Amino acid sequence: MKREAICEGEFLRLRSERNANGVWEWVQVKNYKKSVVVLPITKDGKVLLEKQYRYPVRDYVIGLPSGLVEDGENVEDCARRELEEETGYVAGDLKFLFSGYLCPGLTNMVTYYFYAPNVIKKGKMNLEPLEDIEIIEVPIDDIFNFLMKSKLKFEVNILSLLEAISFL
C-alpha cells in the first residue's frame, strides 16, 4: 500500500492510497483531525440555526454551529467556543451525544456532536473573516416543517441530532 500527497493548499491536502485493487483519493484537513457540531436550543424552545454561505456549493445553507478542534483543545471546550463565536449564545449544560465520521469516503475527520439545552444570549457573534452567518430561531415543534419547506438546502446532520435528543 502506498500513500502519498497529490497536492495541497493552505488548509487541505489531497491524498491517494494505492494498493493491488486500485487507487482511493481522499481529503485531509491539515492540522485538524476533529470537528464539533452543536444543537443549541433556547430556554423558550427555539432551535438556533445558522444560514451560512458555503463556498463549495456557492449558496447559503442551513446548518448548526460547528467548527474545527484546535490542537490540544478539548472537544467540549471547542463546542462551547464555536457556539459562542458563531451565535453569541452560551451553554450552561452541554451534553455529548455521539461521535462519528461525517463523510468517511472523503475524509478521516471525526466529528463530535453536542446538545446544548437552555442556551442564553451573552453577546455579539465573533465571526472569522470568511464566515457569513445569520442566526435563525425556529420553534422546535416547527423545525421539521421549516426545514422541509425551506428554499435553502440544509445540513442533514440536523435531523440526526434532533432524533438523538428525542432519546434524552
Q: How confident is the model at residue 163 (pLDDT cuts 50, 70, 90)?
A: confident
What's residue 167's pLDDT?
Answer: 76
Q: How does the average pLDDT of the chain come out, rounded?
A: 92
DSSP structural state of residue 93:
S
What's residue 161's pLDDT?
Answer: 87
Query: Has residue 153 got a pLDDT over 90?
Result: yes
Alpha-carbon distance of 88 to 126, in angstroms, equals: 7
Residue 124 C-alpha from the chain's centroid: 20
Q: How confident is the model at residue 11 (pLDDT cuts 50, 70, 90)?
A: confident
Strand-pair category, 133-139 with 89-90? unpaired
Q: What is the pLDDT of residues 85-134, one digit of tens each?
A: 999 999 999 999 999 998 898 999 999 999 999 999 999 999 989 999 99
3-state secondary structure (DSSP) of residue 132: coil
Give the list of residues 6+ apart from residue 31 with CB closer than 8 angstroms, or none.
Answer: 71
Amino acid at position 40, single letter = P
What's residue 88's pLDDT?
Answer: 97
Domains of the chain: 1-30 (no CATH), 32-165 (3.90.79.10)
